[in-house]
Amino acid sequence: MTESKEQVLIFGFTSPENSENHENKGNESFIKFSGDFCQEQYIRELSASSAEVVMLLDLDRIPYSAASRILQDYRDKKNKDGIYYGLPEKKKLFLGCIDPVLFRGDRIITESPFLIGRKEEFLKAYAGNDLDKNLLGSVAYSLQKNHTK
Protein backbone atom coordinates (compact mmCIF):
# COMPACT_ATOMS: atom_id res chain seq x y z
CA MET A 1 0.00 0.00 0.00
CA THR A 2 1.42 3.39 -0.96
CA GLU A 3 1.37 6.35 1.38
CA SER A 4 -0.66 9.24 0.03
CA LYS A 5 1.27 12.46 -0.05
CA GLU A 6 -0.17 15.69 1.25
CA GLN A 7 -0.91 18.56 -1.08
CA VAL A 8 1.90 21.12 -0.97
CA LEU A 9 1.83 24.79 -1.95
CA ILE A 10 5.24 26.19 -2.84
CA PHE A 11 5.59 29.97 -2.83
CA GLY A 12 8.70 30.85 -4.79
CA PHE A 13 9.95 34.38 -4.15
CA THR A 14 12.53 35.98 -6.37
CA SER A 15 13.86 39.24 -7.73
CA PRO A 16 12.11 40.65 -10.83
CA GLU A 17 15.24 39.86 -12.87
CA ASN A 18 14.86 36.10 -12.33
CA SER A 19 12.84 34.79 -15.29
CA GLU A 20 13.07 31.10 -14.37
CA ASN A 21 9.65 29.37 -14.43
CA HIS A 22 8.47 26.08 -12.95
CA GLU A 23 5.40 23.97 -13.57
CA ASN A 24 3.09 22.34 -11.07
CA LYS A 25 3.83 18.66 -10.63
CA GLY A 26 1.98 15.86 -8.90
CA ASN A 27 0.72 16.95 -5.51
CA GLU A 28 2.70 20.23 -5.59
CA SER A 29 1.33 23.61 -6.62
CA PHE A 30 3.87 26.30 -7.42
CA ILE A 31 3.28 30.05 -7.29
CA LYS A 32 6.08 32.45 -8.20
CA PHE A 33 6.20 36.03 -6.97
CA SER A 34 8.74 38.65 -7.77
CA GLY A 35 9.03 42.15 -6.40
CA ASP A 36 6.89 43.50 -3.57
CA PHE A 37 4.44 41.30 -1.76
CA CYS A 38 1.76 42.39 0.71
CA GLN A 39 -0.13 40.77 3.58
CA GLU A 40 -3.45 40.74 1.70
CA GLN A 41 -1.93 38.90 -1.27
CA TYR A 42 -0.18 36.42 1.04
CA ILE A 43 -3.39 35.55 2.93
CA ARG A 44 -5.47 35.43 -0.27
CA GLU A 45 -3.12 32.92 -1.93
CA LEU A 46 -2.86 30.75 1.19
CA SER A 47 -6.61 30.75 1.78
CA ALA A 48 -7.38 29.86 -1.85
CA SER A 49 -5.16 26.78 -1.74
CA SER A 50 -6.36 23.35 -0.63
CA ALA A 51 -2.79 22.38 0.32
CA GLU A 52 -2.11 21.11 3.83
CA VAL A 53 1.61 21.96 3.70
CA VAL A 54 3.17 25.26 2.64
CA MET A 55 6.76 25.99 1.67
CA LEU A 56 8.17 29.48 1.23
CA LEU A 57 11.26 29.31 -0.95
CA ASP A 58 13.75 32.10 -1.75
CA LEU A 59 14.64 31.28 -5.36
CA ASP A 60 17.50 33.79 -5.33
CA ARG A 61 19.31 31.78 -2.65
CA ILE A 62 18.19 28.19 -3.17
CA PRO A 63 17.21 26.48 -6.44
CA TYR A 64 13.72 25.17 -7.03
CA SER A 65 15.25 21.72 -7.56
CA ALA A 66 16.08 21.67 -3.82
CA ALA A 67 12.36 21.80 -2.94
CA SER A 68 11.94 18.03 -3.46
CA ARG A 69 14.76 17.26 -1.03
CA ILE A 70 13.38 19.68 1.57
CA LEU A 71 9.89 18.19 1.21
CA GLN A 72 11.24 14.66 1.61
CA ASP A 73 13.18 15.61 4.75
CA TYR A 74 10.06 17.31 6.13
CA ARG A 75 7.93 14.23 5.38
CA ASP A 76 10.49 12.04 7.16
CA LYS A 77 10.06 14.05 10.37
CA LYS A 78 8.01 12.21 12.98
CA ASN A 79 6.60 15.43 14.45
CA LYS A 80 5.27 17.81 11.80
CA ASP A 81 4.00 20.40 14.27
CA GLY A 82 5.56 23.82 13.95
CA ILE A 83 7.40 25.57 11.18
CA TYR A 84 10.72 24.23 9.96
CA TYR A 85 13.57 26.30 8.59
CA GLY A 86 16.89 25.18 7.21
CA LEU A 87 20.51 25.55 6.43
CA PRO A 88 20.95 24.02 2.97
CA GLU A 89 24.62 25.12 2.77
CA LYS A 90 25.64 22.15 4.88
CA LYS A 91 26.33 18.81 3.23
CA LYS A 92 23.27 17.34 4.92
CA LEU A 93 20.16 19.47 5.01
CA PHE A 94 19.44 20.71 8.51
CA LEU A 95 15.79 21.18 9.45
CA GLY A 96 15.23 23.08 12.67
CA CYS A 97 11.87 23.80 14.22
CA ILE A 98 10.87 27.24 15.47
CA ASP A 99 10.88 27.02 19.25
CA PRO A 100 7.28 27.51 20.43
CA VAL A 101 8.37 28.33 23.99
CA LEU A 102 11.12 30.91 23.66
CA PHE A 103 11.00 33.87 21.27
CA ARG A 104 14.41 35.12 20.29
CA GLY A 105 14.05 36.53 16.77
CA ASP A 106 16.94 34.28 15.76
CA ARG A 107 18.77 35.43 12.65
CA ILE A 108 19.32 31.82 11.65
CA ILE A 109 15.54 31.53 11.30
CA THR A 110 14.75 34.95 9.84
CA GLU A 111 17.51 34.51 7.25
CA SER A 112 16.62 30.94 6.29
CA PRO A 113 16.12 30.50 2.51
CA PHE A 114 12.99 28.42 3.15
CA LEU A 115 10.24 27.77 5.66
CA ILE A 116 7.96 24.72 5.59
CA GLY A 117 5.04 23.60 7.71
CA ARG A 118 1.29 23.29 8.08
CA LYS A 119 -0.83 25.88 6.30
CA GLU A 120 -2.76 26.79 9.45
CA GLU A 121 0.51 27.97 11.04
CA PHE A 122 1.37 30.13 8.02
CA LEU A 123 -2.08 31.73 8.12
CA LYS A 124 -1.13 33.20 11.52
CA ALA A 125 1.89 35.03 10.09
CA TYR A 126 2.23 38.64 9.03
CA ALA A 127 3.91 38.99 5.62
CA GLY A 128 4.05 42.74 5.14
CA ASN A 129 7.27 44.21 3.77
CA ASP A 130 7.14 46.92 6.45
CA LEU A 131 8.35 44.32 8.98
CA ASP A 132 11.26 43.12 6.85
CA LYS A 133 12.24 43.80 3.23
CA ASN A 134 12.46 40.04 2.72
CA LEU A 135 9.13 38.21 2.80
CA LEU A 136 10.65 35.11 4.37
CA GLY A 137 12.18 37.28 7.10
CA SER A 138 8.81 38.92 7.81
CA VAL A 139 6.99 35.60 8.01
CA ALA A 140 9.72 33.93 10.12
CA TYR A 141 9.87 36.83 12.59
CA SER A 142 6.09 36.98 12.80
CA LEU A 143 5.78 33.24 13.39
CA GLN A 144 8.35 33.36 16.18
CA LYS A 145 6.56 36.30 17.77
CA ASN A 146 3.19 34.50 17.49
CA HIS A 147 4.54 31.57 19.50
CA THR A 148 5.30 33.68 22.56
CA LYS A 149 2.99 33.47 25.51
Termini Cα distance of the chain: 42
Q: Which residues, listed in sequence order, are joined to residue 84 by a DSSP beta bridge?
A: 97, 116
Q: Dump pLDDT digits (tens) for 106-142.
A: 677 778 889 998 999 899 888 877 777 778 888 888 8
Which run of H or E residues covers position 56?
strand 53-58
Give the pLDDT confidence of 52-62 residue by residue, as tens digits: 999 999 888 88
pLDDT on residue 22? 67
Model pLDDT, residue 101? 44
Res 53: pLDDT: 92
How high does pLDDT run on average in the chain?
77
SS3 66: helix
In the predicted structure, residue 88 carries a pLDDT above the cut 70: no
Q: Residue 2's pLDDT is what? A: 39
Residue 36 near residue 134 (C-beta atoms within 8 A): no
Q: Which residues contact 146 (CB under 8 A, 6 or more apart)?
A: 124, 125
* C-alpha 102 chain-centroid distance: 20
Tell me the per-residue pLDDT of 7-32, one tens digit each, with 9 for 90 and over: 999 988 887 776 666 666 667 888 88
